[in-house]
Structure 1
Amino acid sequence: MFPVIFVSLGPGEPELITVKGLKALQAGDCIFCPETLSKEGERVSRAAGILLQLGIPENMLCRFPLPMSKQRENALSAYDRIYSEASALRQQGKKVCIVAEGDAGFYSSIHYIYDKLQADGIPVDHIPGIPAFIAAGALGGLHVASLEERLTVIPGIATVEDIERLTSENSAIVIMKLSRCTDEIHRCIRLHPEYRYHYFENVGTPAERYLNDSKQIAALRFPYFSLLIIRTGAF
């Protein structure tokens, strides 16, 4: 009987998926992918868009609504349903894939399903992907970390004090999901114009954007799919 395979799609550009990940999708019978409701009430799915561009047929996709909220109860309920459906399909001999943008084991709540399956003794496999900050570094032509420099990746709960402490420890910093800490980032830019700020949004999509002008960055309200790389070195 086949394991449930978690396939990491990468940051958004279909060609950045791994060959192993694509082969697993092409061999699958059912591919679970999340979708959310836009502010206009439309169902949208970046993951489904990637799959369709890779030539995966729509009839293989099992879309499921994933509520986007800091209150995680509804999201966990959705994951519980996927766990049950994936388990049942596997028992029927189906090849089941569950996809995640970026990497399924890096700031991905879909890992909840992975843990639940594993805890119940159901075989799982995780095919890694390229996380957004690595793709962002390539887009900006950056060495994300150099020589003996440390790298610290934090979610969008960063404060100016966090950033000051990490830069004093010779650490490059990646801050994910900037929409949660917009005001703190703006304050950091005012207090520390000497830092080098590299801002990215929607990496790997037609709407991708890269800015390294701190004044332009300080004027933005950051969307959900955004990240910032802060360095004190030459790049």
Structure 2
Amino acid sequence: TMNETENNNDEQEASSSWLKPFASSRQQREEKIYRTSSLYSAATACASSSIPIQWKDTATVTGSDDLWWQLRPLTSKEIQILEGNKCRCRCNDWSKVTLLYRRQREAINSQMMDWSNVLENIISDSTLDGYVVIGVSPPPSHDDIKESRGEIKGIHKNGMIYNCILEPDCVLYDNTIVSYAHIHSNASILHCGVLSFADDGSSDWTDEISITLGAESGGGRSIK
């Protein structure tokens, strides 16, 4: 009957309305996973070919100039800085480590901009292995430095960073092992035991995270 049809339509609309937030959340999660996979694939291609690559960030909508990032291998000078007395970093194969930064059209030869001075301030006492992306950005102004004094900045005191994407201005501090992780800009991972997005040893990026808490948080407890 007409009333039954109308009731069924109302129920379907109500059900659809109730599911919309979950569908939207799922779509956003899938877009983030795709972005991570795309960036990681570009980074591995850059490292394998030793050729700078421009990567388009389709998830960015703030403006056309913000869509493009530069990926490139480290220079010999930058490797010396990372291995030197100030950074004290170690890596089995530096050719697998790439830099990530905003493409600057106005800069001459922006593909090979020297980031040595930035690296010596944002990373220290960490061991890198596998394909690692290190995001860099221009140093802050004098006023910004004064305001942020005392805050933890950058990538420091990490036992092992393995197959990770570390975007500019993220914080990775005092962790035992971080693997298959994508740390976004302004995100912070502090004092963790083991953090991994590939608990089964696979190389696929998923939306599941496994964390083993450090001693100060009870120690030895794994959460997902």
State whether TM-score is above 0.5.
no
Q: Which structure's relative contact order is higher, taking Cα pairs within 8 Å and 6+ residues apart?
A: 1
Pick the structure with greater CA Rg.
Answer: 2
More strand by share: 2
TM-score normalised by length of structure 1: 0.19
Give the TM-score of the pair, scaled to structure 2: 0.20
